[in-house]
Amino acid sequence: MIEKPLVPKEGRYVLHLFYRVEHGQWDLLSPEDKIRAKTDLSELVQEARSLPETQLLIFSMVSAKADLGFMLLTNDLITANLLEKKIALSLGTEILTPVFSYLSMTERSEYTTTDEEYSAQLVAEKDLLVGAPEHALAMADFSQRMTKYAQDRLDPNLPDWPVFCFYPMSKRRDAVHNWYALDFVTRKKLMAGHAAVGRTYAGRVRQLITGSTGLDDGEWGVTLFAHDLYEIKAIIYEMRFDEVSAKYADFGEFFIGLQMPLNELFHQVRL
């Protein structure tokens, strides 16, 4: 029996879970049993959200792919596994049928700008000499920003924005376009251009990239939040013209959901 938490060296575990509601089975329940089932799910959500280092979001899914969606972020693999089992049975047996799941972990980006690279940029682009007070001030500001960036990647605070999108993706490795055959400098340059597109959507789209190499079928999970579905459509469309996506990206299935209070969500999915 595992007694100690399974906490990773770095990052958080992330589970995306999508279910279909079996309304035929649900309709067989008495009104009292339906109230009890919804109460059980509500209490489970509150239980998860009260755990340390744990966040749980729940969505009414758009389209016939799924009815309910969950996004769980936690630092303990045992907790992730236990909550996933509880969620599957939260409304009773044979009520929720899993249609898709994805396991990943929050991670740093290997393509972030280093102190040395930023220092060289200050010298080349702003004529700030190393050792000058202005250079030191700029480097201190850069260090603070990068520390926050790493923290946001590893331990993000998931937003309550209403529109949610998730899809897995991998980098292509065929005979013509093989991302892993490129040298690091080339990959980093390409990713810098890719990131520049994403930054133009700051304030309109919140993005979380999680790593899944060796954990699931894809290599990354991409989670997007917005207040307007148009913005998600726009950023994904625009990024597909970027060389990183046009030549080297393979996309998985897309899932769109709506985040809302539980009482509204129950009404939305006809529970």
Residue 265: exposure state from Cβ atoms within 10 A (0-12, 13-18, ≥19):
buried
pLDDT at residue number 249: 92
pLDDT at 133: 81
Burial class of 170 by CB neighbour count within 10 A (0 to 12, 13 to 18, 19+): middle
The predicted pLDDT at position 148 comes to: 87
Q: State the pTM of this model.
A: 0.92
Question: Rounded to the nearest 10 degrees, how much is the dihedral formed by the CA atoms of 149, 153, 157, 160?
Answer: 100
Identify the segments of the chain with pLDDT beneath 70: 1-2
Is 167 a residue of the active site? yes
CA distance 33 to 35: 5
What does the DSSP assignment read for 200-253?
TTTTTEEEEEEE-TTTSSSSEEEEEEES-HHHHHHHHHHHTTSHHHHHHEEE--
Tell me which of 13, 102, 167, 248 is the catalytic residue. Answer: 167
pLDDT for the residue numbered 1: 58
C-alpha closest to that of 220 among 111, 109, 79, 54:
109
